Structures are given as structure tokens and as C-alpha cells.
Structure 1
Amino acid sequence: MKKVFLGLSALFFAVLVSGCNQLTQYTISEQEVNQALAKHNNYEKDIGVAGLVNAHILLTDLSSQIGREEPDRVTLTGKAKINVTSLFGPQEADMQLKMKARPVFDAQQGAVFLRDLEIVDAQVQPEKMAAVMKSLTPYLNQSLKSYFDQKPAWVLSTDRSKGEALAKKFAKGLKVEPGQLVIPFTQ
């Protein structure tokens, strides 16, 4: 009888604690962030150095890994299709990008932004375009950084769930955990 009571007590305590988490924080999964990032697919921008080289960039297939490589960062991967016009004529290249950013919660907007975005790796195909793309990468990095500084990766909504509505009203910051973003309601 004592073992059954202890087992039921432990189960009750576990349910109570998990219920409290729903009342004290809201969690955004990596999958939810990836679905939101799909809205940023097909980001297009013209970059370059006037008169020397110009490039039209189309970013697709964005996905994230939250807090896995670095504890407080989101790692983004994506593809960039680039059409370059230079003194050597028109050329095309494909880049596989890896970027890191710091997720920040803006309570006033109820949104998560990816700040301090930085391209940490860029693989270029065809390889003969690597030198041209290396010279354009700082411009691409600045363009993407500016874009994600202005466009949130996730916006809390009062319509999706009660937990999300509570988060929008009472959120006090953001914690990065492996595979998820946690928005606590208290500090």
C-alpha cells in the first residue's frame, strides 16, 4: 500500500510540475521555428559593388537548429541562388550557407528576432565562383543581418493557443534550450 501511495504521489507531483510549467512559460519548438522560417524563404536581394560586381540573391530552404551547437545561439542553414553580373559577364552560383544568430525576445512586439546574424560557412558551386562569392559574402552577411534584425523569426499570437496568448501578455525574456526557445512569464 505504501509503494502504491508513493507511486501515485510521484505521478501527481510530476503532473503538477508539468502543469505549472505551462502556467510559467511558453515553449517554441525547433519545428515551429522552421515552419515560421519557411515564410522567409525566397528572400531576394541585390547586392554588390557598383560598377564592379552586382549579384541577385535568392535565399531558400531555411531551417534552424536551436541551442545545439552553441548554448545561446540558433544555427541556420539555407541555400542561396546567385546571379552575378561583373566585368566578366553574367555568371551563376549556388551557395550552401550556415549562419549563427542570437535569438532575442522583444516583449513590446511579442516577437523573437535573430540578432547578430553571421555567416560562418559558405560552400560555393561551381568552385570557380568561390573567389567572386568570397568577395560578396560580407555584403550578403550584412544584408541578411539587416533583414533578420527587422523581420522576426517568430511572432506570438493570441489566436493559436492559450499558452501563447499568456506568453504575449506576460513574457519576461527568452531562454535557449537544445531544440526549443523558452519564454518565461516571470523572471
Structure 2
Amino acid sequence: MTRKMLCFIAGLLSCVAVAAQDQAPAPEATAKPGITSTAPPEVQTFQKIEDKWDDAVNARDQYALELVLSPVFVGISATGDITTRNQELAGVISGQDKIDHLDQRVITVRMLGDIAVANGTYKLHRKGSSGSVDEKGVFTHVFEKQRNSWICVNSQRTILREDGPPGKSKKKQGNGAEQPFHIPLISK
């Protein structure tokens, strides 16, 4: 009986030791020599896709843009205009979009299986009715993995609010203390 008990305890301890080794990776396995970027690999992957998108728009390259945008793509501009992939491609080919330069930077990426949501900032330089216009904002791009590559199925842009002309300060309300939200009947 004691022999069986000792064998059982020895087997149990060996299983615990194996499980503990699996959970704590060796230090040499986690160190990656030669990599200088601190960005997660997902951000780097989607930044490369955004760079391809930028290059395609800036060079007015229809075929490169077709590789980034899904056939079911829907884009919502910062002004609220809704476009499809074909409309985006037609705008690039005909030059109706009036974009001189587009630069997008990925900040975060959330992976949801074969769907990824990339958030970031953009700078857009375009020709407006009254001259050149610089637009800065944030974007959300939804990607779907198809045939081992990621393509954008949805794009949403929002222009960042301007703080106003330099030298003018905003009017302070109350005692100047910051309040994250207003609670009726409690806060002033």
C-alpha cells in the first residue's frame, strides 16, 4: 500500500514540475536579439499594411489599393461621406479625391480571430476649394483575414478638434478644479 502511495506522489510531483516549467519560459527564449522596436508584432504588421495603403493613395496606384481594400469595403470619411471600394478606386484614378499626401500611424490593434481592429492617427494633406488643407485625426480600420492576408472591410475617420488660435485661452468654469463628469444635484 505504501509503495502505491509513494508511486502516486512521485507521479503527481513530476506532473506539477512539468506544468511549472511550461508556464515560465526560459529567459533566453523571451530575449530577441536584433529587434529594436518596442511595438507589439500586431502593430508592426498592420503598420506595414497602412504604409501600403498610404503609398497606393499617394502614388495613385489602383492595383496596390485593390490589394488593401476588400470588395465589400465601406469607408466613412471625417465629413460623414460614405464610400465603397469602387468609389475609392475611382477617386484615386480620376484624381477627384484631391489628396496630395496621406500618412497613417497605427497605435493599437485588437485581434478577434480572423478580424482585427486597428486604431491610429492620420495626417492628410489635400487640395481644398480655398487652397491646401491639412487634416489631422484618428481612424478605426476593421480588417478581415482572407487567404493569409489582411484586407480592410471598414474605415472610420474623425477629425481632431482644433484648440483655436494661439494666444487665446479657454474660459475657465467654476473654481478651476478638474471634474471628470457631472453628477446632477451633487456637483456645481
TM over 0.5: same fold?
no
TM (norm. structure 1) is 0.43
Instruction: Choose 1 or 2 for highest CA Rg.
Output: 2
Structure that is richer in strand per residue:
1
